[in-house]
């Protein structure tokens, strides 16, 4: 049987880990103890030594450091006794592994693994949208794959600088983009802080998890006003493509997400010449002036809107529409390697029509009108709170100068 205490950090002070090995058992756990880096070797505490040239001040400092090391040595010895006692008195049904060892070292923190805490976090957060829950469960699957590959179990206290380095290296070998990695770490950080508020101990490093991760900006695809005009003027015999084309044109002038503009009905059209919507994702209320092109499509559908389409069907049909419109420019951008590879990214080169998707109308709206209209008016229509924060929205709509904004929008086209 071997019980080893060791460190693996290169910082000035390192957390002490314990490793228990016997036959096929190889369990590791992080303790709550810290020691001056380089002072724990082969289970022994190495003290500082004064030299002949050491002055009184230096000798006093060395003495103080050695007293601290004596304290750490005593705590390690007590912890060793505790672990051995737990081993001798464990039940026959107990499986000795990293989780068991963590429970022996830090009982409260080992009651649940990080993944178990993550699942509890989802259960505790009320009002999460179904898509958000799916995305969070996807991150849990990624963490499980990481644990399986590393043959470890993560706990709240495990989320530290060593975890970040290891997880970042692992994600890189799996082909995940830096932006995806940063998103995963941001969520992991949120989970840690959630349980810290409930009294759990977490690493001080958690707040730095997302720092120093350089993300490669993805080349965003958008439609120009000339391309929108070309699409609008297409003569389409296929009524399904005609329906999708009208939605695509509308999306450019409305500046909303697919989940919002696709729910528009006659009830959303107001007498003041606006379309008013409550955004599904954030409940933000937006007010959109009806421009001539928008009114033209509304008139085409007897004062309403085209037939709603699922996002999958919409994406499929607007690609066909854009292909017919001649959007054949070859675009180099960052994209997914394939459905089986999840968020793993690679550079792709495709004709523009193949890269068109449901969000392009909203992106094109912002791209076209930015700098040509007052920024607060653009943000009011899209629901953005700031230019830099794309997904932070206003909770309530303010009344806008409809005539003034409409005039600005028309002059910008």
Q: And the tokens for 185? A: 């770490």
With cut-offs at 50, 70 and 90, classify the pLDDT of residue 314.
very high
Q: How far apart are CA 354 and CA 341, in angstroms?
A: 19
What DSSP designation does 151 have?
Answer: T
| 288 or 125, greater pLDDT | 288
3-state secondary structure of 2: strand
Q: How far apart are CA 72 and CA 309, in angstroms?
A: 66
Asked if residue 118 has pLDDT above 80, the reply is yes
Cα–Cα distance list, 299 to 291, 293, 303 (Å): 12, 10, 5
pLDDT digits (tens, 9 = 90+) for 14-42: 889 999 999 889 998 888 899 999 999 98
Q: Residue 279: which of 383, 365, 363, 376 has the closest Cα?
A: 383
Q: Residue 227: which of 243, 242, 239, 245 has the closest Cα?
A: 245
> b/e per residue, 145-166, with b = 16+ CB within 10 A?
ebbeeeebbbbbbbbbbbbbee
Q: Say what the pLDDT of residue 309 is.
A: 94
Asked if residue 338 has pLDDT above 60, the reply is no
Strand order in the sheet with 274-278: 269-270, 274-278, 285-289
Q: And the tokens for 364? A: 């094109």
Asked if residue 288 has pLDDT above 90, the reply is yes
Asked if residue 342 has pLDDT above 70, the reply is no
What value does the mean pLDDT take over residues 218-245?
91
Q: Say what the pLDDT of residue 390 is.
A: 35
Confirm if 345 and 180 have CB atoms less than 8 A apart: yes
Asked if residue 189 has pLDDT above 80, the reply is yes
User: Which residue is it, tokens 């002036």?
Assistant: 289
Q: What is the DSSP string of 199-221?
A: T----GGGGGTTTT-PPPPP---
- Sign of the Cα pseudo-torsion (31, 34, 36, 39, in order): negative
Q: How far apart are CA 2 and CA 21, in angstroms?
A: 5
Asked if residue 337 has pLDDT above 60, the reply is no
User: Which residue is it, tokens 């022994």?
Assistant: 44
On average, the pLDDT of the chain sits at 86
What value does the mean pLDDT take over residues 208-213?
88
Neighbouring C-beta atoms of residue 105, cutoff 10 Å: 22
User: Which residue is it, tokens 């060395």?
Assistant: 62
* Alpha helix positions (H), 325-358: 352-355
Q: How far apart are CA 128 and CA 130, in angstroms?
A: 6
Q: How far apart are CA 313 and CA 336, in angstroms?
A: 20
Q: Say what the pLDDT of residue 297 is.
A: 97
pLDDT digits (tens, 9 = 90+) for 150-171: 888 898 888 999 899 999 999 9
What value does the mean pLDDT take over residues 63-74?
94
Q: What is the pTM of this model?
A: 0.52
Asked if residue 329 has pLDDT above 60, the reply is yes
């Amino acid at each position: 049987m071997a019980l080893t205490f060791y460190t693996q950090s290169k910082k000035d002070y390192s957390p002490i880990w314990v490793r228990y090995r016997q036959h096929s058992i190889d369990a590791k756990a992080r303790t709550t103890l810290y020691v001056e880096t380089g002072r724990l070797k082969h289970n022994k505490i190495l003290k500082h030594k004064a030299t002949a040239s050491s002055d009184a001040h230096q000798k006093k400092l060395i003495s103080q450091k050695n007293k601290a090391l004596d304290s750490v040595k005593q705590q390690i010895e007590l912890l060793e006794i505790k672990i051995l006692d737990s081993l001798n008195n464990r039940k026959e049904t107990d499986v000795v592994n990293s989780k068991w060892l963590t429970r022996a070292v830090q009982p409260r923190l080992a009651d649940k693994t990080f993944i178990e805490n993550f699942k509890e976090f989802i259960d505790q957060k009320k009002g999460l949208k179904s898509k958000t829950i799916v995305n969070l469960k996807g991150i849990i699957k990624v963490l499980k794959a990481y644990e399986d590959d590393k043959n470890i179990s993560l706990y709240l206290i495990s989320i530290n600088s060593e975890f970040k380095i290891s997880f970042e290296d692992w994600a890189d070998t799996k082909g995940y983009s830096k932006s995806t990695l940063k998103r995963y770490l941001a969520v992991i950080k949120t989970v840690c802080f959630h349980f810290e508020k409930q009294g759990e101990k977490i690493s001080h490093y958690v707040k730095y998890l997302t720092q120093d991760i350089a993300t490669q900006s993805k080349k965003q695809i958008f439609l120009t006003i000339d391309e929108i005009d070309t699409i609008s003027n297409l003569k389409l015999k296929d009524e399904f493509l005609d329906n999708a084309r009208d939605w695509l044109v509308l999306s450019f002038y409305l500046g909303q997400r697919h989940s919002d503009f696709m729910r528009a009905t006659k009830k959303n059209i107001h007498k003041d010449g606006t379309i008013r919507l409550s955004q599904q994702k954030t409940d933000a209320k937006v007010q959109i002036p009806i421009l001539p092109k928008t009114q033209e499509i509304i008139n085409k559908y007897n004062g309403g809107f085209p037939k709603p389409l699922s996002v999958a069907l919409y994406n499929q049909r607007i690609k066909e529409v854009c292909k017919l419109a001649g959007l054949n420019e070859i675009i180099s951008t960052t994209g997914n390697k394939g459905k089986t590879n999840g968020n793993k990214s690679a550079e792709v080169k495709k004709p523009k029509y193949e890269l068109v998707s449901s969000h392009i109308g909203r992106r094109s709206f912002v791209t076209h009108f930015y700098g040509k209209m007052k920024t607060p008016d653009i943000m009011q229509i899209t629901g953005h709170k700031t230019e830099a924060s794309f997904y932070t929205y206003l909770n309530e709509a303010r009344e806008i100068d409809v005539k003034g904004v409409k005039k600005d929008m028309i002059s910008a086209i």
